[in-house]
Structure 1
Amino acid sequence: MITQQDSDTREEMDPRQELLCEDFGSDHICLLYHTEVRWLSRGPNCTVTEFISKLGAFARKLDLWMKNVESKRYGMFELLTTLESEPSDELAQEIVHHLSLLKAELKHYFPDVTCCAYIANPFSVDPANQPVGTGEQEELIDIQADETAKTKHKECSPLNFWVSMASSYPTLARHAVPQLLIFPSTWECEQGFSAFMTIKSKSRNRLAAPGHDFRCAVSKVMPRIDQLVEKKQMQPSH
């Protein structure tokens, strides 16, 4: 539902701010004025380690974008560069403020996100850089001298490797395995709600229950259009 306040905001919004929202891939052009809106996770599930890497990379991109905007470089916002005139200082400040709020939200929800340095490759990590007294340093030295483990590491995925090493190097495996599990995500749930809202819209609320349409919208099975068409009989001309 769009409130009167939302309508007023839409009318007052600078067209250049609309372009900024489109550059961010936003579904709504008024998100800059509603910083309390929580952007839920998007995309398929990934492991904890992959999530940490992507989160760290995104935080670094935010820092880079803020520096670029402060230097009046807007090349990362393609639609914004299509304007005939350069964005005003007020708009630049609005962009920086928006990016800083987004980074603050990330730090609020994920204040201390780190992963084990030896998860991907325990043979390239200096044991001296690991915590003292946890047993990780000693087990890293042992596994780096283990030729069987080196061969296994080349043949297996990281998760399968650490599961197979659990009995030989329990301390390392105990830290590594949890971070290689799938990170819980609301993506599929959000996708389902989005599909349902598109199907059960105001313009078609008098149609039959959208059960079959909904299943087709969220199914991962690709439709075999050619086979479906072959089974249909063409209507003869009258």
Structure 2
Amino acid sequence: MFPAKLKRHFETHPDFMNKTTDYFKRKSDELHSIQKTFVSHVKTHNENALKASYLVSYELALAGKPHTLAETLIKPLLAIEVNCMVDEKTANLISSVPLSNNTVRNRIQDLSHDVKDTLISRISQTKFSLQLDESTDVAGLAVLMTFVRYELSGSFHEDILFCKPLPSSTSGSVIFFMLDAFFIENSIPWDNCIDVCTDGAKAMMGNIAGVVARIKEVSKKCTSSHCVLHRHSLATKKVPVVLKQVLDNAVKIINYIKTRPLQSRLLKILCEDMGAVHKSLLLHTEVRWLSRDKALSRLLELRTEVSLILNDQNSLLEDYLNDQEWLIKLCYLADIFSKINEFSTSIQGKQKTIFDANDKILALKKKVAFYIESDAQESIQKNCEWIINPFSVTSKPAALNAAEYEVFIDMVSESHNQTSFKNKPISEFWAQLGEDFSVLRSKAKLLLLPFGTTYLCEMAFSRYTATKTKYRARLNAEDDMRLQLTSVTPDIDKLSRKKQAHCSH
């Protein structure tokens, strides 16, 4: 200060007239300390609000809920609950978390890109197989769903590669160009792709312009497989004429009740009065392959109640339910479709290989004589016995050369390998095999990586339909679907550090 100002200051504050210089230095340090603490508190609060914003957005994406719920429902409810249970000051902190519709959308995009980058870094350095399928959503967009299976840290992983709408038609060339553009954009070498699994649509499996044919042009060693579920579904459609008539008449009976709301209500009342286990029939549709067994079984269980309803309506359909021969055929159809559905369900799920599907096919083949398509798979099984059950092989497999067979003998001669084979899934056993047997591990991986079915795509489309409803028809669901279907956990702390934290106003 200027001397005159300093003098006036002490005249107006006489209590500080005789204080030493150390006193004022100490006060100055205290003031700076308070300022730093306040800034640090504000910064920490903003950073926590940013992280909370990411966490809430992540949970919204996992649940497939609208992005507007965060601002319109979740935050107000949390503020009310905290205000009631804790105090108003803490409730105000909750209200400061940024959760607007645009903010949530941006957070989900950040999380999705982080997961995508992690996945691409993994598959760019290793062999992988693809599973892809196409379907139309509620907005009329043709959506391509693609999954990938790869090895990481001694085990096989499955993850969504992308979920993108096709720009125009669903031809093989358009689908391949989208795949190829994604691979080029993310520097993924096509040589790493060893197998493609899809359905039997012409756009996918066409010999010249199909997606698989085009992939094989850029990846010379890539193989392909037709989804076992789709082949199985095609085979089961060949029902003998006599049984087909029984199936059609059963569907007519079901539709007669289900398409008339009054009859459905009367059936429910009748079932309750008679103590039936079920109170309604189930519709059958060709698209839902499980419906054959479930619809027919339900009709058999409620045949007495349904017969009374049809009799009351003077419907000629009642005659079928009173015909013993017709009922016997209906029982046969219900039983055989039940066995078929058990098979179809058993080969679905994650980490299912073509060997799992083949074992189920061979078991079904013994039960159902008309299922012949699995013969082609039987030769594959025999040639790969050294992978499925290596410790029972007594002679050199045709798939192994002399040098590889010598390594194979060394491998099966080690007792701890046999113990490991019994205690681990087959894929983990081969993926975790020691470096001394790397030649066998690499050879086995090429046969264990391919998908046996397009189950992941079918499951993903079900989640996609639940997420992109008619009320959210404009949603670009790729980022939401990636977070719902991925096995990779996004690094929220890393994303939070990259962002400048701002509270909601």
User: As a proportion of its length, which structure holds more strand?
Assistant: 2
In terms of fraction of residues, the more helix-rich structure is 2
TM-score by length of 2: 0.24
Bigger Cα Rg = 2
